[in-house]
Amino acid sequence: MTTLTTPQLSPARIRIALLVLALGGFGIGSTEFVALGLLPNIAHDLLPALYARSPEDANAQAGLLASAYALGVVVGAPTIAAVAARFPRKKLLVVLAAAFTFFTLLSAVLPTFGLVLAARFLAGLPHGAYFGIASLVAASLMGPGKRGAGVAFVLSGLTIANVVGVPAITFLGQATNWRIAYLAVAAIFALTLVSLIAFLPAQPGDKAATMKRELGAFGRAQVWLTLLTGAVGFGGFFAVYTYISPIATDVSPLPLQAVPLVLVVVGLGMTVGNIIGGRAADRDVVRTVYVFFALFLVSLAGLALTAQTLPGLFIFVFLVGLSAAGLSPAIQTRLMDVAGDSQTLAAAANHSALNIGNSLGAYLGGVVIAAKFGYIAPVWVGLFLCVPGIVLITASVILQRRRGGTLNGEHRSIPVPLGAE
């Protein structure tokens, strides 16, 4: 593995560069989830005939916008990463930010549902590649022994978006028009684009990278085991998160107007968990995965048993967000350890796996609700999904020990000079 280090940069310059990378994550978190709070507005505007007949059917069809974005992530992450691994990383991030800006702008101005649906798919394509490449750049900026912290810093933009960006932009869209909300997200991406150009130091790509070599990651059992661990873990989270609104209003004694407060508490938990998970991963990646899966199990069980009370709801949704987000930087760091030379593809493919997990969790949660098991049933689905996650990481550990590998940091950084673009 070849990673970049940046000893010649001042601490202030490194912090600014990390903030710029996190700003892109903030934009991605905003664009990924803002549609969920604006579905009725979008359905009413783009599907007026269907909405007049059945608001429920129109809202369900408008929900395809979120699915289209997720599909774009799944398709774009490995494709872009495999093709572009050899490109200079700063220039590639600039191109991805420009793509985000353009396709989000299209989402705001296109006139029909079908065209907006296509724009949302295209907007999802750069998602995984951005996070994957930004994570590698952040790891190099932080230096040896701080890869997890670097990855967590990039992901902090995503978690903070759930606390601030999504509620604020959703409010803006409800107060004005859903198109204004997407214009606001496009403005965030435009600011990211300008900031990347101005403040991110130049970093070369991997000149030896080829599509064949990058795709070789999928020939590694450890890569598959790690990707599946992340998919299952976040599947458990989204089984709960997708249905947090009816859990809050139908199980807990809260009015609909209080749902944004519950979402903020989840987002705060995610922000804290992301920070702790990144720092813990730098000490022991595998142990961090086990610890956060254990906390996830306890948090989901606590939510299932106490969600009918306000203290139980708020305490355990915070812990659910914390434990799920703590897994993310640990799994991303684990992928860096097991991917060999296929760093770019593995880092990006992680986000494809997470989006598959998102869809799986939401689907299974919907299945148990449709089967009349109640709104607390998705929480139990999330808990049961932890079991295969723990089995998968255990299988990864056993396989690695049998092959004589070390469990943490098996691929060390090799300094490469900056400005080699």
Note down pLDDT in tens along the chain; length 421 residues: 444 444 477 888 888 999 999 999 999 989 887 876 787 788 889 999 988 988 777 877 787 888 788 889 888 888 887 787 778 889 999 999 999 999 999 999 999 999 999 999 999 999 988 988 888 888 888 877 777 777 788 888 888 888 888 888 888 888 899 999 999 999 999 999 999 999 999 877 666 666 677 677 778 888 899 989 988 888 899 888 878 878 888 888 888 778 778 888 988 999 899 889 988 988 899 999 999 999 999 999 999 999 999 999 999 999 999 999 999 888 888 887 887 777 777 777 787 888 888 778 878 888 888 788 888 999 999 999 988 999 999 998 898 888 765 555 544 333 333 333 3
- The whole-angstrom distance between residue 166's C-alpha and the CA centroid of its chain comes to 14
Q: CB of 150 within 8 A of CB of 95? A: no
Name the residue type at position 73: V
Task: Kindly give, in sequence order, each residue whose CB lies less than 8 Å from that of residue 147, ignoring residues fewer than 6 positions away.
Answer: 139, 281, 282, 333, 336
The closest of 278, 24, 25, 17 to 137, measured between CA atoms, is 17
As given in the structure block, the two tokens for residue 82 are 């495999």
Cα dist. 244→15, 65, 362, 386 in Å? 35, 19, 11, 18
| CA 268 – CA 319 distance, rounded (Å) | 10
385, 232 in Cβ contact below 8 A?
yes
101-to-95, 192, 262 alpha-carbon distances in Å: 10, 9, 30
pLDDT at 406: 56
- Count CA within 13 A, CB hemisphere, residue 5: 11
Distance CA 268, CA 270 (A): 5
Query: Could you give the angle at the alpha carbon of 403 between the alpha carbons of 139 and 415, nearest 5°?
Result: 25
Strands, E assignment, 138-257: none
Per-residue tokens: 5? 């280090």
Handedness of CA 295, 301, 304, 308 (dihedral sign): negative
| Structure tokens given for 104 | 């989000």
Q: Residue 270 to residues 143, 171, 182: CA-CA distances in angstroms?
A: 25, 21, 24
What pLDDT, on the 0 to 100 scale, is given for residue 92? 92
* pTM of the predicted protein model: 0.76
Q: Strand, helix or coil at 318?
A: helix
| Domains in the chain: boundaries | 11-402
pLDDT recorded at residue 405: 59
Instruction: State the angle between helix axes of 343-370 and 377-402 in degrees (0 to 180), rounded to the nearest 10.
Output: 150
CA angle (129, 218, 399) in 5-degree steps? 120
**Could you tell me how many residues make up the chain?**
421
Q: Which amino acid is at 263?
A: L
The fold of the 11-402 domain, in CATH, is Growth Hormone; Chain: A; (1.20.1250)
State the pLDDT at residue 208.
64
Contact between residue 380 and residue 304 where contact means Cβ atoms under 8 Å apart: yes
> For residue 58, what pLDDT is reported?
80
For residue 55, what are the contacts with CB-CB under 8 A and spacing of at least 6?
Answer: 40, 43
